[in-house]
Chain A
Amino acid sequence: MEAKLPIALKVNDLDNVATLFSNEGKAGAEIEIKDKKGNSSSLVLKNDIPYGHKIALGEIEPGSNIIKYGESLGLATAQITAGEHVHVHNLDSRRGRGDMEV
Chain B
Amino acid sequence: MEFWGYIRENGKVGARNHVAVIPTVVCAAEAAQAIANAVPGCIGLLHHQGCCQLPPDLERVTDALIALGSSPNIGAVLIVSLGCEGTDVERLCAAIEKTGKPMDMVRIQEDGGVTDSIALGISKAQKLAAMISAQRREKAQLSDIIMSIKCGGSDATSGMASNCVIGYVADKIVDAGGTVIFGETTEFIGAEHILARRAVTPEVGNRIFEIVNNMEARAKSLGCDMRKGQPTPGNIAGGLTTIEEKSLGAIMKSGSRPIQGVMDYTDMVTYHKGLWIKDTPGREPEILTGMACTGAQAMLFSTGRGAPQGYPSMPVIKICGNVNTYEKMRNDMDLNAGLILTGEKSIDEIGEMAYNKFIATLNGEMTKSEAIKYYNFIDIHTLGPVI
Contact = CB atoms under 8 A, between A and B. Distances in A.
B227 interface: yes
B221 A98 contact: yes
A97 B322 contact: no
Given A53-B156, A98-B226, A69 B248 contact: yes
A23 B343 CA distance: 15
A30 to B, nearest CB: 18
Interface stretch (A39-47, A56-64, A86-94): A86-94
Contacts of B290: none
A23 B216 contact: no
A92 B242 contact: yes
Contacts, number: 99
> What DSSP secondary structure best describes chain B's contact surface?
loop
Contact of A72 (B189, B236, B244): B244
B99 interface: no
Interface in A58-102: 68-69, 71-74, 86-88, 91-100
B104 interface: no
A65 to B, nearest CB: 10
B281 interface: no
A91 B241 contact: yes
A71 B294 CA distance: 32
Interface residues of A, number: 30
A96 B160 contact: no
Interface string B241-262: 1111100110000000000000
Given A19-B160, A21-B341, A51-B324, A94 B244 contact: yes
A21 B219 contact: no
A96 B220 contact: yes
B224 A95 contact: no
A29 interface: no
Nearest to A70: B248
A66 B249 CA distance: 15
Contact size range, B: 35 or more
Interface in B256-314: 304
B219 A96 contact: yes
A91 to B, nearest CB: 5
B225 A69 contact: no
Contact of B244 (A51, A74, A88, A99): A74
Interface string B211-232: 0000010011111111100100
Interface in B342-377: 342-343
B157 A98 contact: no
Contacts of B226: 96-98
A17 to B, nearest CB: 10
B239 A50 contact: yes
Contact of A87 (B241, B322, B342): B241
Contacts of B224: 98-99
Contacts of B225: 93, 96-100
Contacts of A72: 190, 244
Contacts of A50: 237, 239
Given A19-B156, A88-B227, 7 more contacts: A23-B324, A54-B156, A54-B239, A69-B249, A71-B244, A93-B190, A100-B225
User: 9 smallest A-B Cβ distances: which pairs?
Assistant: A52-B156, A52-B239, A98-B220, A96-B226, A93-B242, A53-B239, A73-B245, A74-B242, A69-B248
25 contacts: A9-B160, A19-B156, A19-B160, A19-B239, A23-B324, A52-B155, A52-B239, A53-B156, A54-B156, A54-B241, A69-B248, A69-B249, A71-B244, A73-B190, A73-B242, A74-B242, A88-B227, A88-B241, A92-B242, A93-B225, A93-B227, A93-B241, A95-B244, A96-B219, A96-B225
